[in-house]
Structure 1
Amino acid sequence: MKVDIHAVNFNIDRKLVDFIQEKLDKLEKYYDKVVASDVYLKLENTSDKENKTVEIKIHVPGDEILVKKTSKSFEEAIDSAASSAERMLVKRKEKIRMFS
């Protein structure tokens, strides 16, 4: 799956890129019609410890799945966003099965 990673106003290191790619590649096991995904990493300007926001936009035929999570670290946010996306993809697959 093609994954585009956009780091807003900061540079991203290779380890984080590999981590994101690995997490999103696993999503294809749950729904094989995923076309591509965009990942946006943002640092929020708050004094709050949970200031790292991850938005994952997954492109599937005829629709987009959007997941947004904020956490203390990007890894944690990506982890939780990927598991939310996984549940949404499984739900979508079951719904399509029911109607076909």
Structure 2
Amino acid sequence: MKLQFHSLHFDVDQKLVDFIQKKVDKLETFYDRIIDGEVILKVEKDDARDNKIVEIKLNVPGAQVFSKEQAKSFEAGADEAVESLRRQLKKRKEKQLAH
């Protein structure tokens, strides 16, 4: 699946891009009609420990699914965001099958 990556206030490392790409690709096992997606990585300037924000938006036929998570690391935030998207996609698929 094609993902666009945007990083605000820092330069993203290729290892992080590959990690998130691999996690999001696994979502296709739950819902195979994902068109493409966008990942936004932000670092907030405050002194809080949880200053890393991961936003993932996936385009599916007729809608968008979105998740925004804030965590201590981008990896942890990506894990939480992907898990949230997995639940949303699973629920969407169940509703389609019910019709």
TM interval, short-chain normalised: over 0.9
Q: Give the secondary-structure state (helix, strand or coil) at the position aligned to 1:47.
A: coil
Q: Aligned pairs, how many? A: 99
> 1:8, 1:46 → 2: CA distance?
14
Which ranges of structure 1 fall in alignment gaps of 5 or more residues? none
Match status 1:80 vs 2:52: no
> 1:92, 1:45 → 2: CA distance?
36
Match status 1:12 vs 2:18: no
> 2:64, 2:94 → 1: CA distance?
16
Provide runs of 4+ in structure 1 moved above 2 Å.
none
TM-score in terms of structure 2 length: 0.98
Match status 1:36 vs 2:36: yes
CA apart distance, 1:8: 1.0
> 1:39, 1:3 → 2: CA distance?
7
> 1:45, 1:66 → 2: CA distance?
24
Alignment of 1:30-69 (within 5 A): 30-69=30-69
CA apart distance, 1:63: 0.2
Which ranges of structure 2 fall in alignment gaps of 5 or more residues? none
> 2:51, 2:37 → 1: CA distance?
22
- Over the matched positions of the two proteins, sequence identity in percent amounts to 47
What value does the CA root-mean-square deviation take over the aligned residues? 0.6
Residues 7-56 of structure 1: CA deviation (Å, up to 9, x unaligned)? 11210111101001100000000000000010000001211100000000
Match status 1:96 vs 2:78: no
